[in-house]
């Protein structure tokens, strides 16, 4: 009964969070439409661009939810092949390099050239992209991002760590929840709060384990490992050495 009650409570929170995420862009679209109808002579390209950005934001939320639903229901069409982890990591990082430079973030990208994994490259790209996006957005200016792979046989696929501000163990425990974000980023339209949830769901579809924690320097750390190599059934939060 307790598990059922927790499940119902999660669904209620999800419904409320989804309504919150969609209410704001829908209200903005309605307001802009009403203004355009009342004063059509004042219509300009800026309004059209803002309308497009809002529509793209809503489309991104819906598409992410569709992907989540498909993979959570075991409907993933996996096509495994040998993947060059170093090459994939570098390619996925490129779109975020400019933003990191703007914030003067020091980036250490060290993935062995010989590291490969038999997996689905499409899903791996989705996981890497969401982890890099999260690190770039929430690392403060002058911070550090470390992206490393593994040259050994310890099952590690990727490790992403970065300096953070205002995140403690109580926050880490919520990182993989749908729509969860730090309060100070709640109004940020660039992130829907689905990226890390999607990354973990895709990881499970690939029989990988994605965990998060804080290291001894209070940096956030994401470890992506092969699930059958996981030594302990650690929770999604905790301390990582």
How far is it, in rounded angstroms, from Cα 68 to Cα 127? 12
pLDDT band at residue 135 using 50, 70 and 90 as cut-offs: very high
Tell me the average pLDDT across 7-30.
Answer: 68
- Kindly report the pTM of this predicted structure: 0.70
Scanning the structure block, which residue is given the tokens 């959570």? 72
Q: pLDDT digits over 57-116, tens only?
A: 677 667 767 776 676 666 667 888 999 999 999 999 999 999 999 999 999 999 998 889
Q: What is the largest CA-CA distance in the chain?
A: 66
CA dihedral angle for residue 101, residue 185, residue 125, residue 226, rounded to 10 degrees: 110
DSSP result, 50-86: HHHHHHHHHHHHHHHHHHHHHHHTT------EEEEHH
List of residues 6+ apart from 67 with CB closer than 8 A: 126, 198
Instruction: Flag whether pLDDT at 168 surpasses 60.
Output: yes
Site of tokens 């994401």: 222
Residues in contact with 201: Cβ distance below 8 Å, sequence separation at least 6, in sequence order: 68, 71, 72
CA nearest 208: which of 132, 120, 135? 120
DSSP letter (8 states) at residue 28:
H
């Amino acid at each position: 009964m307790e598990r059922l009650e927790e499940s119902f409570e999660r669904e209620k929170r999800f419904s409320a969070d989804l309504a919150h995420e969609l209410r704001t862009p829908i209200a903005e679209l309605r307001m802009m439409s009403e203004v355009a109808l009342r004063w059509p002579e004042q219509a300009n390209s800026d309004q059209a661009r803002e309308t497009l950005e809002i529509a793209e934001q809503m489309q991104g939320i819906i598409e992410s939810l569709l992907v989540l639903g498909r993979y959570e229901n075991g409907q993933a069409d996996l096509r495994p092949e040998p993947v060059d982890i170093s090459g994939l990591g570098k390619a996925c990082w490129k779109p975020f390099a400019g933003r990191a430079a703007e914030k003067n973030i020091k980036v250490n990208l060290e993935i062995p050239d010989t590291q490969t994994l038999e997996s689905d490259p499409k899903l791996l790209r989705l996981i890497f992209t969401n982890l890099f996006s999260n690190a770039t957005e929430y690392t403060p200016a002058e911070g550090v991002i470390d992206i490393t792979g593994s040259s050994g046989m310890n099952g590690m696929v990727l490790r992403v760590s970065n300096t953070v501000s205002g995140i403690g163990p109580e926050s880490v425990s919520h990182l993989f929840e749908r729509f969860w974000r730090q309060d100070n980023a709640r109004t940020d339209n660039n992130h829907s709060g689905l990226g890390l949830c999607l990354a973990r769901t895709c990881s499970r579809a690939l029989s990988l384990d994605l965990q998060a924690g804080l290291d001894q320097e209070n940096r956030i750390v994401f470890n992506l490992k092969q699930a059958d190599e996981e030594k302990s059934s650690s929770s999604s939060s905790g301390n990582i050495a």
